[in-house]
Structure 1
Amino acid sequence: MTWLSPAFPVGAFSYSSGIEWAVEAGDIGDAASLRDWLESMLADGPGFCDGVFLAHAHRAVSSPEKAGLRDVAELAAAFVPSRERQLETSAQGRAFIEIARAAWNCNGLDQMVSCCDGIIVYPVAVGVVSAVHGLPLVPTMHAFFHALTSNWISAGARLIPLGQTDSQRVLALLEPAVAATIKRALGASLDDLGSATFRADLASLRHETQYTRLFRS
């Protein structure tokens, strides 16, 4: 709960995953359109993919031979559609690992980080650290998705803007999509990875050259 709370300093508040451009372009303008946008991102875009990477990283660390951890980390680092999404997930992953080492270090963590042998994106970092500490995968996944969805809503609330009550309504309405995405991600293989959120991908690309920006992605 601590690692995936807004108070954990990975810098999540400074990223919008392209939502900033979507608001400027008029794709998102109220609570209903924000909910629809995020439901697609959860079910058919980065939400599902991040869940799959978290699950496979966790299982790789938990397996006796640590099989496939480097391959999962490498694929996850390559599986982002834009420079700013790469910055978003890699910077948060790096911060998550550094803070875990500083405040919640344990035997085996440095070894697993070394096994990744390169960039460790955010969902892989969460999977690795939680597995090394012996935390079960399912509650880790639920906490991760709650943090991810809450941060997206927070970005939308500041950009549209939305009030606190409307923000909580969006979160409540997204609960079924979150639960369904978690279930799919837990049962998915790496071959099941895929995204169909083309407008969101374009938003993250166009955000790079947006004239005025509040967020880093």
Structure 2
Amino acid sequence: MQAAALLNLLQFASPALPIGAYSYSQGLEAALENGMVKDADSARRWIVRHLHEVVAQWEAPVCWRLMRAFAARDGAAVAQWSERFIASRDSAEFRAETIQMGFSLSRLIAELGVAEAAALALLQREAEVSLPAAFACAVDALAIPHEAALLAMLFAWAENQVLVCVKSVPLGQVAGQRLLLSLRPELEAAARYAQNVADDEMSNWAPGLSLLSMQHEVQYSRLYRS
């Protein structure tokens, strides 16, 4: 990867990116409340299962398809996969999460002036912008290799999950970094799967996670928005 692309990737995969990712736990806070996650071992089990059974089965493959669609300037494919992703968000919190962060990232891309007009037009024609669509647009605008971008997307997701555990289990800082380091083979496997899974093999079927998200909507004490 060229140095410029690497620097662009580091910037747009950073938790400092002002799109609000740190404010979401994606159901993990509800799992903590229910006692499903309570220490380092259970935190790792939760993250690995969420990665392989949810993210690698749907979110990562959708992001991969959106990156290819933006590269080809295929407006129909951009609209199709963005709409499918939003439709797959089966709780109010999950839907609000992707739309809020998608809107924030798309606005950031526009304000930074990094995207070509044609690519930005593909994004802005959507009534609601999903986070994967906005991320794919940024990847195209900054000439980031797709394989690296997919790994960065997965790592950023895992890092955020680990940070939730550090704050709320609680885990120590070193334990959190040890956990994140141990996830690297899992992230690589998830990326490989997402790049090769066929359309008719993709799935967002995760009823347990959906129920936890719905419970979180009425949870008495919350630090996170999902």
Please give the range of the TM-score, normalised by the shorter of the 2 chains.
over 0.9
Segment drifting more, 21-30 vs 192-201: 192-201
Q: Say whether 1:133 aligns with 2:142.
A: yes
* TM-score after normalising by structure 2: 0.90
Map 1:41-120 to 2 at 5 A: 41-63=50-72, 65-108=74-117, 109-115=119-125, 117-120=126-129
Change (3 A) 1:71 1:65: closer
Task: Decide whether the 8 Å contact of 1:62 with 1:132 is kept in 2.
Answer: no
Match of 1:190 among 186, 196, 199: 199
Could you tell me which residue of structure 1 aligns to residue 43 of structure 2?
34
CA distance in 2, matches of 1:30, 1:68: 42
Could you tell me which residue of structure 1 aligns to residue 7 of structure 2?
none
Task: Decide whether the 8 Å contact of 1:28 with 1:37 is kept in 2.
Answer: yes
Segment drifting more, 132-141 vs 147-156: 132-141
Amino acid across the alignment from 1:17: Q
* TM-score after normalising by structure 1: 0.93
Q: Say whether 1:210 aligns with 2:202.
A: no
Q: Structure 1: where are the runs of 5+ without partners?
A: none
Q: How many residues align?
A: 216
Q: Find the residue that maps to 1:10 and give its secondary structure.
A: coil
Match of 1:180 among 189, 194, 217: 189
CA distance in 1, matches of 2:137, 2:149: 11
State the percentage of identical aligned residues.
27
Q: Find the residue that maps to 1:211 and give its secondary structure.
A: coil
Residues 73-117 of structure 1: CA deviation (Å, up to 9, x unaligned): 1101111121101111111111111111112433233212134x2
Task: Decide whether the 8 Å contact of 1:17 with 1:204 is kept in 2.
Answer: yes
Segment drifting more, 79-88 vs 35-44: 79-88
Q: Say whether 1:199 aligns with 2:171.
A: no
Amino acid across the alignment from 1:28: V
Pairwise CA RMSD of aligned residues? 1.6
Cα deviation, residue 58, structure 1: 0.8
